[in-house]
Amino acid sequence: MVDECHVLLPASNMVAPDEWVRAIRAEGFCLELDTRYDPTEEEGVFGYRPCLCLGREVGFELSYARRADDPEWFSEWDGQWPEASQYDFCVSLGLRHEGDAVLVAGAVLAKITGGVYFAVDLPLSTDEAMAAAREADARLRQ
Render pLDDT for 18-28 as a digit per residue (tens, 0 to 9): 899 999 999 99
Amino acid sitting at position 6: H
Question: Quick one: what percent of the chain has pLDDT higher than 70?
Answer: 87
Q: Which helix (H) or strand (E) holds 82?
A: none
Say yes or no to pLDDT of 44 above 50. Answer: no
Span 58-100, pLDDT tens digits: 888 888 889 999 898 888 888 888 888 999 999 988 875 567 8
> Which is more confident, 55 or 44?
55
Closest C-alpha among 36, 34, 53 to residue 98: 53
Closest C-alpha among 7, 4, 57 to residue 31: 57
Cα–Cα distance measured from residue 20 to residue 18, given in angstroms and rounded to the nearest whole number: 5
Cα–Cα distance measured from residue 138 to residue 44, given in angstroms and rounded to the nearest whole number: 32
Predicted local confidence at residue 1, as pLDDT: 46
Look over the chain and give the mean of its residue pLDDT values, rounded to a whole number: 85
Say yes or no to pLDDT of 110 above 80. Answer: yes
Closest C-alpha among 13, 31, 33, 34 to residue 110: 13
Q: What are all long-range contacts of 51-58, with beta carbons under 8 Å and residues at least 24 apart?
A: 51/101, 51/105, 53/98, 53/101, 53/140, 53/141, 54/30, 54/140, 54/141, 57/97, 58/31, 58/97, 58/98, 58/100, 58/101, 58/140
Q: What would you report as the CA-atom Rg of the chain, rounded to the nearest whole angstrom?
A: 14
